[in-house]
Amino acid sequence: MNRVAAIQMTSGADVAANLHEAGRLIAVAARAGAGLAVLPENFACMPKAEADKLAVAEEEGHGPIQDFLAEQARANKLWLVGGTIPIKADDGARARAACLLYDDGGERRARYDKIHMFDVRLPNGESYRESRATEPGAQLVVVDTPLGKLGLAVCYDLRFPELFRGLLDQGVEIVALPSAFTSHTGRAHWDLLVRARAVENFVYMVASAQWGTHANGRQTHGDSMIVNPWGEVLDRLPQGIGYAVAEIDRGEQAQLRSTLPAIEHRRL
């Protein structure tokens, strides 16, 4: 049960095809002994335009994508972080990027709505305005699981260390980070940021990613990885479709937090 998997996909605009591929990869990760699997951001739909996500957005608690996640967790007897899926927002014009957690019986245990929106103009000319179709969330989420206290964060959240300090204040030990980092920013910062968040907070990072070229022409970086609290990459998948898998050792984590008590030494 101490083994975790970060699943890597190249999702497209066809929801049914994406769910089929996700189901295949979850089953493979389960056969590899994973007690927790993390799907990437937008695993069920990477459409040609951000606004197209509204067409597949589901009501809270109901819909084929949510049913799929519950069934996959139950059938494979693992805890499952469902990347992000679009859940209808109150204003009707946008959706929430909801990261859903299911236990090994298929019961939903948590929902985290991505807080930080990727509204940027990159040096290479790429431009994104995620907030046009996605309404940001506001609440941090940490959940008790058999592997430890699990915190949820999504992609662009990685650039905001105060979010991870907030999770730490709630006792987080493992962070699931579904992502779809661009190829441009991923090459420069992905490895650095994932490892920094692990070391700063002495947490395990289970960072799942999109990889490759998608229907909208966007290129994502990949490099799904699992990082321990010392900043060591336990396993990674630089390119391609598949997963990274590694063991969580909470005893080692507790010893590290005790012998190098930087968390207790905070003054600000």
- pLDDT tens digits, one per residue of 150-208: 999 999 999 999 999 999 999 999 999 999 999 999 999 999 999 999 999 999 999 99
pLDDT of 50 above 80? no
Q: What digits encode the pLDDT tens for the residues 73-97?
A: 999 999 999 999 999 998 888 999 9
Dist CA 261 CA 267 (whole Å): 13
User: Which superfamily is assigned to 3-259 in CATH?
Assistant: Carbon-nitrogen hydrolase (3.60.110.10)
Average pLDDT of the chain is: 96
In the residue annotation, 155 being an active-site residue is answered as yes
C-alpha distances out from residue 37 to 32, 80, 233, Å: 11, 5, 17
Rg (CA), the chain: 17
Hey, CA dihedral for 23, 147, 220, 217, is it positive or negative? positive
Residues ≥6 apart with Cβ < 8 Å to 155: 41, 114, 118, 177, 178, 179, 180, 181
Neighbours of 130 (CB within 10 A): 18
The pair of structure tokens assigned to 1 is 């049960």
CB-based contact 211:10 (threshold 8 Å): yes
pLDDT of 47 above 90? no
Give the active site residue among 53, 114, 130, 149: 114
pLDDT of 51 above 80? no
The confidence score (pLDDT) of residue 42 equals 97
Show the beta-strand stretches assigned E in the chain. Answer: 3-8, 36-38, 79-81, 85-88, 95-102, 108-113, 119-121, 127-129, 142-145, 148-152, 174-179, 204-209, 211-213, 219-221, 224-227, 233-237, 242-247
Give the active site residue among 50, 58, 130, 155: 155
In the residue annotation, 88 being an active-site residue is answered as no
pLDDT of 126 above 90? no
Dist CA 74 CA 78 (whole Å): 7
Model confidence, pTM: 0.97
CB-based contact 246:235 (threshold 8 Å): yes
In the residue annotation, 53 being an active-site residue is answered as no
For the chain, give every domain's residue range. 3-259
pLDDT of 104 above 90? yes
Question: What is the arithmetic mean of pLDDT over 113-133?
Answer: 92
Give the active site residue among 21, 41, 58, 130: 41
